[in-house]
Structures are given as C-alpha cells and as structure tokens.
C-alpha cells in the first residue's frame, strides 16, 4: 500500500450537536454550574462525555486495532491518490476523527482510488467528490 499523508491525532475542529435533556437533568446541571463545579453547561457535557470515553477506552482500542481504523485527522491530497492510482491500488479507508479529501482531488480520481470510505466523525470533501463516492461511504 502506498504511503499516504500522515495521520495526526489532535483535535482540529469540533462538530456541533443538538442534545435533548429532561428538565430535571438540565436543572441539576445548572445547579452544578451555579455552584462552580463547571464553568457552564458545555463544560459539564464535555466532561461527562470524556469520562464515558475514558471508561470504554480499552474496548475502543481493541476495536480500532481489530478493524484497522486510523485515529485523528486523515488527509488525502491529490498527490497521494495519484500515487495510489499509479500503483494500481484501491484504498479502503477507515477513520475515527476527521477525513479530509483535498479540494484539488477530482471526482474521477477519488472514484478510481477509493474503494470504500468509513468515517466515524466527520468527512470534509468537495461536493462533487462526495457525490462520486456516495455509494462507497459508510
């Protein structure tokens, strides 16, 4: 397999989500914020999520290893995909984090070189590339 752009395991961006909470739960969070346990509701929710992720860390590590998932940010430049095409390779991409397909990657090049694309997190790619890969994105 051709060497592609290095994966970086740092947070580049965040994704906004909507969360529905019961009024009592929300009130309890507000009370903890009022009592200065947390700076705000977002601080509480992020802390709770991090605690749960830490609790399941070993399971996630085993799953990432078993499924050969790349962690962090995975960037695909045109040169990377051209090298894969020259080597006659089709990539099966599995990313936990952010997958980025460069703006200069044509839909044809992406379709020729990316066999499957599974992103647990977010995918940034030109609309035409997304359309070309729509049947391969899981």
Give the integer Cα–Cα distance in Å for 86 and 28. Answer: 58
Specify the pLDDT at position 6.
42
69 and 88 together in one domain: yes
62 and 41 together in one domain: no
114 and 127 together in one domain: yes
- Structural domain including 109 reads 58-133
Inter-axis angle of helices 23-34 and 41-55, to 10 degrees?
Answer: 100
Give the integer Cα–Cα distance in Å for 121 and 11. Answer: 11
| pLDDT per position as a tens digit, 7-23 | 444 445 688 899 999 99
| pLDDT per position as a tens digit, 73-109 | 999 999 999 999 999 999 999 999 999 999 999 999 9
Q: Which H or E run contains 117?
A: strand 114-124
Residue 50's pLDDT band (cuts 50, 70, 90): very high
47 and 81 together in one domain: no
């Amino acid at each position: 397999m051709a060497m592609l752009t290095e994966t970086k395991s740092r947070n580049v961006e965040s994704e906004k989500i909507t969360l529905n909470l019961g009024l009592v739960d929300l009130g309890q969070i507000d009370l903890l914020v009022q009592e200065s346990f947390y700076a705000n509701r977002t601080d509480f929710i992020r802390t709770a999520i991090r605690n749960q992720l830490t609790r399941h860390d070993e399971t996630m590590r085993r799953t990432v290893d078993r499924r050969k998932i790349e962690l962090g940010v995975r960037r695909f430049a045109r040169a990377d995909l051209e090298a894969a095409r020259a080597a006659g390779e089709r990539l099966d991409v599995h990313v936990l984090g952010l997958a980025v397909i460069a703006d200069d990657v044509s839909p044809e090049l992406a379709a020729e070189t990316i066999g499957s694309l599974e992103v647990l997190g977010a995918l940034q790619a030109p609309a035409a590339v997304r359309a070309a890969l729509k049947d391969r994105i899981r």
